[in-house]
């Protein structure tokens, strides 16, 4: 992500140099600059989201060796795709539509994680 951001900055710098020497006209330079601003804004937002996820993972890893770890500790800070992935690890096994009761099944991978966590 940082590499892509630096590439965008380098491209804008090259465009600026071409504009100064007269190779690019003002309209072309302005269009390139606008494109750079949009791209860099998106990249910076993605980088910020990644940093938030890393922070959440770091907080969870600090509690890794406690006897009980809440695997959903950072759930509220996750994006929709990550939340969906976690929820899919606990699919409904049996649903009673009359009472609204539901029995949940646990994905094998999640089951192993929980069994491992409880051993510490």
pLDDT digits (tens, 9 = 90+) for 57-76: 776 666 554 544 465 667 77
Among residues 43, 62, 81, which one ends one of the domains?
Answer: 62
**Cα separation values, 90 from 18, 59, 82, 94, 96, Å:** 56, 23, 14, 12, 17
Among residues 16, 45, 62, which one ends one of the domains?
Answer: 62
Model pLDDT, residue 113: 67
The helix (H) or strand (E) run that includes residue 14 is: helix 2-20
Q: Which pTM was predicted?
A: 0.45
Among residues 40, 62, 84, which one ends one of the domains?
Answer: 62
Looking at the structure, tell me whether residues 42 and 98 fall in a common domain.
no
Instruction: Give the model's confidence band at 116: pLDDT under 50 very low, under 70 low, under 90 confident, else very high.
Output: low
Measured distance CA(104)–CA(69) in Å, rounded: 20
Could you give the count of Cα atoms lying within 13 Å of 8 in the half-sphere of its Cβ?
Answer: 18
Looking at the structure, tell me whether residues 45 and 76 fall in a common domain.
no
Instruction: Tell me how many domains the chain contains.
Output: 2
Looking at the structure, tell me whether residues 2 and 58 fall in a common domain.
yes
Model pLDDT, residue 82: 82
Looking at the structure, tell me whether residues 90 and 51 fall in a common domain.
no
Q: Residue 98: which domain range?
A: 68-120
């Amino acid at each position: 992500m940082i590499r892509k951001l630096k590439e965008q900055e380098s491209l804008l710098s090259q465009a600026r140099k071409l504009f100064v020497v007269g190779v690019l006209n003002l309209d072309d330079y302005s269009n390139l600059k606008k494109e750079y601003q949009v791209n860099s804004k998106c990249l910076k937002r993605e980088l910020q989201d990644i940093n938030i996820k890393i922070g959440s993972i770091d907080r969870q890893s600090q509690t890794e060796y406690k006897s009980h770890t809440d695997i959903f500790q950072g759930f509220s800070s996750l994006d929709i795709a990550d939340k969906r992935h976690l929820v899919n690890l606990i699919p409904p096994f049996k649903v009673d539509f009359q009472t609204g009761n539901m029995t949940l099944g646990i994905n094998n991978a999640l089951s192993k994680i929980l069994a491992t966590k409880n051993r510490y």
